[in-house]
């Protein structure tokens, strides 16, 4: 459990800053001086962040569906308790779906293409297997259509199954969606030299390929049973998190899983870093599919940004002493939100998690810390919490507050217009959801897609172990 500093709100500040210019942001289900930086030259930016030399794009799709705002897939911290195809490779256009609530990327595995959710808040890459058993909330087996999954993974592990090891993951806490399954490899290990020629001819068909980059012998999971609320398109998750969050266990019974049989392995980001010498990846999320990307090895050459704010990726404490890298965690300088009535700054903050797999920005809403409530009350008129839907709603023409996060000395503002989600409505009132969600866990702060849109987020998992953020221009 994280140590949570005191949460003191209502610190009055001087006049509110000017509203940020409108940007096109993703409407998701479910931040004090305005940073103004001149564009960097290509040469200067190349020194800070390498230019990714490979590009591949996806088509744009949007899907309708129903889901409560509280069901965003927050990976539980175990703490030990219309784009066009491109001929290049290395950058994949991120695809917003389910009322633009998720970003998907096309991944090739076993010779077939699948759409996976891009998730920096978990580390396991998994696909749903063709014999998947779907469970309802009462753990009863129901028709697989109830889980609304995308195409099933065809066949078995191309690289073979890992004996006596299984997959067991829960999202959103003990009562959240969970999956059990098998662990294996996306391809066979490199063959002896005498067999190398034939291996080269077939390797691409059996390896895991992301953004046109072939990842050698990547451990993956095939989900065979669980509770899931899908979008009808995605076949699993591309886990871009760190090794401390991998969920492989030795043994045969998931019921007996715990720290004693947990096995950490190399997830996609560390395999790419160690075996392919690409320790940097970047995400650029946008409502416009053609402007959204996942890049391995750097940042696309055509993407223009302001100056980068650099912050270290922080370790997080284990329950039984010590610390490790789990999430992409950082400690922001401050959060600021304001309206014409007042301005509030929160400077005493714990670590926050940068998580592309969570649609909203999520802040505490408990007895001693009510940041989420305070932000939502700065809408004019005030947002109203709707318990059945698990979120705050306002008239769709309400005036949102400005909201900023200061990281590494730079302020990053969310476009106020993006603080209201017209695609997500309370059918009883016609009101629209806000982009600020809540948790009663006072230690849980998440910067999700609402924060990441309009930025380039760079993740360096090499010796530097740092994150870099810049505004797109």
Domain ranges of the chain: 51-300, 309-471
CB–CB of 283/447 below 8 Å?
no
Annotation says 15 is catalytic: no
Name which residue leads in pLDDT, 72 or 430: 430
Q: What contacts 24+ positions apart, CB below 8 Å, involve 406-410?
A: 406/32, 406/332, 406/333, 406/334, 406/335, 406/336, 407/309, 407/311, 407/330, 407/332, 407/333, 407/469, 408/309, 408/310, 408/311, 408/333, 408/469, 409/309, 409/333, 410/35, 410/37, 410/307, 410/309, 410/469
Instruction: List all residues 6 or more positions away from 277 whose beta carbon is below 8 Å from its beta carbon.
Output: none
Average pLDDT over residues 119-131: 94
Separation CA 339–CA 440 (nearest Å): 25
Q: What is the helix (H) or strand (E) element at residue 268, kind and residue range?
A: helix 268-276
In DSSP terms, 249 is beta-bridged to 166, 262
Name which residue leads in pLDDT, 37 or 50: 50
* Model confidence, pTM: 0.81
Name which residue leads in pLDDT, 9 or 345: 345
Query: What is the residue whose two structure tokens read 């297997």?
Result: 129
Separation CA 128–CA 469 (nearest Å): 33
Q: How far is CA 182 from CA 79, 148, 222, 360, 418, in A?
A: 23, 21, 5, 31, 40
Among 124, 231, 355, 441, the active-site one is: 355
Region of poorest pLDDT, from 24-33, 121-130, 279-288:
24-33
Q: Regarding the domain delimited by 51-300, which CATH topology (the fold level of the hierarchy) does it fall under?
A: Cathepsin D, subunit A; domain 1 (2.40.70)
What's the order of all strands across the beta sheet hosting 323-330?
A: 314-317, 323-330, 352-354, 446-447, 361-364, 436-439
SS (H, E, C) 181-195: EEEEECCCCCCCHHH
Instruction: Count CB neighbours of 14 within 10 A.
Output: 7
Q: Identical fold at 51-300 and 309-471?
A: yes
Strands (E) across 48-152 are located at 51-52, 91-92, 95-97, 102-109, 112-119, 126-135, 141-142
Name which residue leads in pLDDT, 145 or 438: 145
* Helix, strand, coil in percent for the chain, rounding step 5: 15, 35, 50
Separation CA 232–CA 235 (nearest Å): 8
CATH class for domain 309-471?
mainly beta
Checking if the pLDDT of 274 tops 70, the result is: yes
* CA 135 from centroid of its chain's CA atoms: 25
Separation CA 445–CA 437 (nearest Å): 10
What's the pLDDT at 120? 93
Checking if the pLDDT of 115 tops 70, the result is: yes
- Give SS3 for 318: coil
Residue 255, Ramachandran bin (φ over 0: left; ψ between -120 and 50: alpha; else beta): alpha
Query: What is the residue whose two structure tokens read 């090739």?
Result: 108
Name which residue leads in pLDDT, 227 or 389: 227
Reported as a pLDDT band with limits 50, 70 and 90, residue 39 is very low
What's the order of all strands across the beta sheet hosting 343-346?
A: 343-346, 334-338, 402-407, 410-414
Average pLDDT over residues 392-400: 94
What's the pLDDT at 153? 94
What's the pLDDT at 173? 63
Reported as a pLDDT band with limits 50, 70 and 90, residue 142 is very high
What sign does the CA torsion over 358, 361, 367, 368 have? positive
Mean pLDDT over the full length of the chain: 76
Reported as a pLDDT band with limits 50, 70 and 90, residue 77 is very low
Checking if the pLDDT of 105 tops 80, the result is: yes
Residue 356, Ramachandran bin (φ over 0: left; ψ between -120 and 50: alpha; else beta): alpha
Q: What is the largest CA-CA distance in the chain?
A: 75
Query: What is the residue whose two structure tokens read 């886990």?
Result: 239
Instruction: List all residues 6 or more positions away from 340 whose beta carbon is below 8 Å from its beta carbon.
Output: 16, 380, 399
CB–CB of 115/95 below 8 Å?
yes
Annotation says 355 is catalytic: yes
% of the chain exceeding 70 in pLDDT: 72
Q: Exposure pattern of 28-54 as b/e (b: 16+ CB <10 Å)? A: bbbbbeebeeeebeeeebeebbbebeb
* pLDDT (tens digit per residue) in 282-331: 998 887 777 888 888 889 888 899 999 999 999 988 777 788 899 999 99
Separation CA 193–CA 90 (nearest Å): 28
Checking if the pLDDT of 165 tops 50, the result is: yes
Q: How far is CA 434 from CA 133, 395, 447, in A?
A: 35, 10, 14
Length of the chain: 473
Separation CA 22–CA 417 (nearest Å): 7
* pLDDT (tens digit per residue) in 261-273: 999 999 999 999 9
Q: β-strands 446-447, 352-354: how paired?
A: parallel
Instruction: List all residues 6 or more positions away from 200 whose beta carbon is below 8 Å from its beta carbon.
Output: none
Reported as a pLDDT band with limits 50, 70 and 90, residue 45 is very low
What sign does the CA torsion over 138, 141, 147, 148 have? negative
Reported as a pLDDT band with limits 50, 70 and 90, residue 174 is low
Structure token pair of residue 297: 């090895």
């Amino acid at each position: 459990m994280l140590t949570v500093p005191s949460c003191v709100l209502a610190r009055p500040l001087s006049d509110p800053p000017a509203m940020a210019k409108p940007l096109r942001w993703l409407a998701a289900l479910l931040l004090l001086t305005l940073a103004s930086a001149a564009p960097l030259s290509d040469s200067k930016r190349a020194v800070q962040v390498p230019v990714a030399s490979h590009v591949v794009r996806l088509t744009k799709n949007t899907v309708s569906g129903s889901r409560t705002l509280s069901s965003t897939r927050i990976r539980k911290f175990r703490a030990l308790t219309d784009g066009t195809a491109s001929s290049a490779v290395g950058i994949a256009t991120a695809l917003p779906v389910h009322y633009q609530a998720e970003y998907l990327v096309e991944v090739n595995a076993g010779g077939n293409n699948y759409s996976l959710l891009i998730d920096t808040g978990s580390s396991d890459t998994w696909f749903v297997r063709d014999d998947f058993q779907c469970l309802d909330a009462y753990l009863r087996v129901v028709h697989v259509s109830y889980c609304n999954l995308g195409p099933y993974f065809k066949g078995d592990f191309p690289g073979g199954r890992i004996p006596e090891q299984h997959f067991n993951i829960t999202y959103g806490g003990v009562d959240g969606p969970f999956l059990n399954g098998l662990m294996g490899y996306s391809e066979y290990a490199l063959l002896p030299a005498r067999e190398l020629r034939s291996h080269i001819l077939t390797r691409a068909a059996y390896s895991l390929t992301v953004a046109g980059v072939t990842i050698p012998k990547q451990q993956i999971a095939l989900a065979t049973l669980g509770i899931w609320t899908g979008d009808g398109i995605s076949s699993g998750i591309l886990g871009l998190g760190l090794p401390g969050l991998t969920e492989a266990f030795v043994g045969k019974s998931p019921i007996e899983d715990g720290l004693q049989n947990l096995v950490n392995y190399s997830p996609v980001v560390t395999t790419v870093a160690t075996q392919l010498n690409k320790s940097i990846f970047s995400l650029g999320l946008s409502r416009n599919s053609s402007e959204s990307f996942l890049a391995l090895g750097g940042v696309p050459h055509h993407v223009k940004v302001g100056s980068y704010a650099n912050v270290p990726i922080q370790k997080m404490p284990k329950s039984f002493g010590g610390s490790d890298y789990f999430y992409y965690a950082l400690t922001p300088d401050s959060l600021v939100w304001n309206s014409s009535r007042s301005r509030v700054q929160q400077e005493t903050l714990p670590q926050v998690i940068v998580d592309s797999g969570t649609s909203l920005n999520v802040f505490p809403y408990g007895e001693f810390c009510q940041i989420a409530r305070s932000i939502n009350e700065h809408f004019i008129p005030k947002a109203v919490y709707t318990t059945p839907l698990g979120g705050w709603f306002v008239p769709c023409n309400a005036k949102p507050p400005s909201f900023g996060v200061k990281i590494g000395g730079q302020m990053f503002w969310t476009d106020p217009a993006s603080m209201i989600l017209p695609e997500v409505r309370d059918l009883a009132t016609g009101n629209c959801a806000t982009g600020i969600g809540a948790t009663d866990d006072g230690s849980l702060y998440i910067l999700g897609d609402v924060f990441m849109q309009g930025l380039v987020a760079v993740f360096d998992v090499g010796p530097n172990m740092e994150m870099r953020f810049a505004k797109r221009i």
